Structure formats: structure tokens, C-alpha cells
């Protein structure tokens, strides 16, 4: 199980990675981990996202690549290069999934553009 911090617009419980880590440490079970999400982090975290990722390395189990505009990575304002670089630096080997909420461009378009963009930024990170 992995706890996903969300923005204060979405919940009043576990809004930052630090909040999630605090709960993980309280529960103290090896199968309870952290799930980070770019959209949520941009709406909740006061530190740059690469810093949050590095501080969360010990607990990180899953990662959502997306954008606050509710589309996929590379389809909004967030530069995912420093994010991918931070994931590489911490040796993250888990899944990176694309989570979107606005499907107006079409699922195939979103998937194609997101995968292409993530491959591009991962290559230079």
C-alpha cells in the first residue's frame, strides 16, 4: 500500500510528502510506502520537486507523472527534466505512470505525447 499526498483542494489529510512520511514512520510496516504525484506536489509542496523527491527516496514506491493542467507530462508548464533527474539520482526503479484527468485530446494522443516526452526528458536527465 502506498499513501499519495494530495493538495488541500482535494483533502485535508496528508498534503505533503513529509506528511506521508510521518504517517509511514508511525505505521512502521515495510509494505506501507509513499506514492508521489507531480500535480499534487506542485499544489502542496513549498520546496522544489527534486528536493522533495530526494528527501522521500527511502519511502518512495510509485510515481505519477502529470501536470497541474490535468493533462499528461509535457502537455503543460511543468518541466519534468529535473524531476526525472532526481528520480535517477535516488536510484528509483519503480513504475512511473501517467495520470490525467482531462481526456479531451484523446487517450491515444495523451499516451503517445506523454511517453514521447518522458523518454525525451529521461534521456537528458
Residue 104 has a pLDDT of 97
Active site residue: 4, 10, 22, 77, which one?
4
CATH code, domain with 48: 3.20.20.150
Active site residue: 45, 77, 89, 99, which one?
99
Range of 113's domain?
2-124
Higher per-residue confidence, 124 vs 18: 18
Q: 81 is written with which cell numbers?
A: 527534466
Across the chain, mean pLDDT equals: 97
Residue 125, pLDDT above cutoff 90: no
25 catalytically annotated: no
Per cent of the chain over pLDDT 90 is 98
Residue 2, pLDDT above cutoff 90: yes
pLDDT tens-digit readout, 15-62: 999 999 999 999 999 999 999 999 999 999 999 999 999 999 999 999
108 catalytically annotated: no
Per cent of the chain over pLDDT 70 is 100
DSSP string across the chain: -EE----TTT-SS--SHHHHHHHHHHH--TT-EEEEEHHHHHHH-SS-HHHHHHHTTTTEEEEEE--TTSS-TTSSS---HHHHHHHHHTT--S-EEE--S--TT-HHHHHHHHHHHHHHHHHH-
The count of structural domains within the chain is 1
Residue 72 has a pLDDT of 97
Residue 89 has a pLDDT of 97
pTM: 0.95
Residue 7 has a pLDDT of 96
Length of the chain equals 125
CB 122 within 8 A of CB 79: no
Amino acid at each position: 500500500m502506498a499513501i499519495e499526498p494530495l493538495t488541500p483542494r482535494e483533502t485535508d489529510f496528508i498534503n505533503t510528502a513529509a506528511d506521508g512520511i510521518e504517517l509511514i514512520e508511525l505505521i512502521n510496516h515495510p509494505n506501507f510506502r509513499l506514492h508521489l504525484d507531480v500535480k499534487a506536489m506542485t499544489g502542496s509542496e513549498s520546496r522544489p520537486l527534486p528536493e522533495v523527491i530526494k528527501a522521500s527516496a527511502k519511502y518512495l514506491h510509485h510515481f505519477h507523472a502529470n501536470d497541474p493542467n490535468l493533462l499528461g507530462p509535457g502537455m503543460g508548464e511543468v518541466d519534468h527534466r529535473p524531476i526525472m533527474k532526481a528520480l535517477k539520482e535516488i536510484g528509483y526503479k519503480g513504475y512511473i505512470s501517467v495520470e490525467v484527468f482531462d481526456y479531451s485530446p484523446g487517450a491515444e494522443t495523451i499516451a503517445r505525447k506523454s511517453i514521447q516526452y518522458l523518454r525525451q526528458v529521461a534521456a537528458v536527465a
